[in-house]
Chain A
């Protein structure tokens, strides 16, 4: 009896300890609900209840470039963007791996601008990309491949160790989102409706070496292989934005790579005029990222490619999907209207105040 009580005590104590530590962790991890909201991109994917025929992978040149809602409205294509701020090639690989654990798309659209980085860049971007990811071999691989010298795997396993010093900077939203997450995106699309025209024409600085790095190529190879193994069509693309500068030498490498591997490559930057994208009205930060107007034009073009060239089906007749997407469209429209109203009232979009990468 005494022994039983002692065991019972230990169990209760252990459970309480873990509960308090878990709560403390939930409290101090950044909520990314205003300002730099990109920290929520990865996690929001897991709220999806339906499957997707198209998965976008990449950095801001996908998640601020394509609109899955437009693809649905115009072509009945179901899609989701798994992109993050400065998502590096190895992270893109892991993001695809993670996606394939639960669903099998017909087409994967990969942004190639990530090829310019061959080594881990910034701890905070690593955290924003990886923290929201569910635990799996893919996540472990992504952490191992992404780690900066000052990062430790243990910090990912127990985020309290990483964010504990936020205790003195907690705000009301840390309590508000203690157990839930804000909903901020449209199937992974980060919407901005404001306009800030691109005024200068960028000329790229000379580089000592134009060849993409071996590490970046290695992960591109692995992405190609992953798609091939699962019978997924892969589309490489370059977004129609002028920052960062896209060198002809880089473009040639992608053209050659696509040809050598028998995959499609679209340089939407080159055909931006044909698509009708005008960077004096279609960008919200002078040419780094498209705004909603630009995104919808580009998505219309991509939708045509996907349905005509890749045979991605129109799912609008599926009642379950139609019901789900009706809600998504409503959210999309509401977000657009709210942003327009904010611009009318304050001159800028609230909440998403900080410029995005």
Chain B
């Protein structure tokens, strides 16, 4: 049952002296830490019983909406179902209990998982080698652009600019800046792809590379991809593939074959590992043989007998985190690929694309569809009509969808579409669910026309109503006191 009263914080519960732990007595003498370094007052942590603790977090969990709760068509996030068996195998004590500095012979299974996952991802990308180190997509982007930088530096000049389409995720420009590059934004053309003329003009020998998501954030495959890669390579630049949308093409087309030099995958999108409420994910980066010498250390090599950590990469960009990556996440992605097999992965992409086109064709009657062509795994609608005619904004309609039991789509992204709604159904939803969602969207569009007030005030049936975000940002209250 959902609480309708105030939800207390864990700090507001319990009583001094109450506890939810039991620890053994000491079997060795107590040690004395130096007086000058000792803490004087204990940290104010909760003091609750285990039962109170469990109720509190169970209450909180009931206030959340996950993929297991309902349909989550959040564009660009690939909220596919997270199979339960992967949670079980990742928790096997012989995997989750391994220390990263174990002698290699005592961690052969773990090293094999990393090595084989590398081979699988290299095959899916159509590239040579893969680092598992990045903890997230953005982290993978950083590695990728640093690899591009290292490649150019080895040729005597890191170059100054990275080209990024105006439809890109915000992480792309932020990453390029973090890697020391100036960002040049490329406009999109009328079909939603890169404006090739603008690319031709921008591309010269000061440009280190182009970062591209393909299909892009409009859910559209760039039909000029071979022209684009030709233009960039022609001036000595490299091509970075943001794999956020890889779920649309796996098994159908490979970034390496398209001409990309660097690819990051989001294992938490394409390979079914859970998003965890915002992480942990994993962002492995695949590269051409030419870029492999610059990969972060270590890589996992196999000599035909045993697996070992290879730190011997003198031209490596270094490290972006400790140890070998989010191994627990890698295990789940590995298990996913082993469960699906080649045909299963291709089927997943095919059904993701079919489901998206199905929903798109049904919703274009109710909303503006700025790019009317077959989409890939997601598509972008515009709420312009509702805004202009009914004074109802996309945000309102998104909130109203919650009342129908659905998670809203991604809104106001990509930035190039006014009042954007980005919908990604994924392959793990049934036709019945899609039909119900289409029905709910149609109902909301009708309400926007006939009863705009109902939509303005939404959501009405969720445990909480709309938030005063201005207050939160003006007077930041970031901790309980």
Q: Do A and B bind each other?
A: no
Instruction: Give the interface of A toward B (CB within 8 A).
Output: none
Instruction: Give the interface of B toward A (CB within 8 A).
Output: none
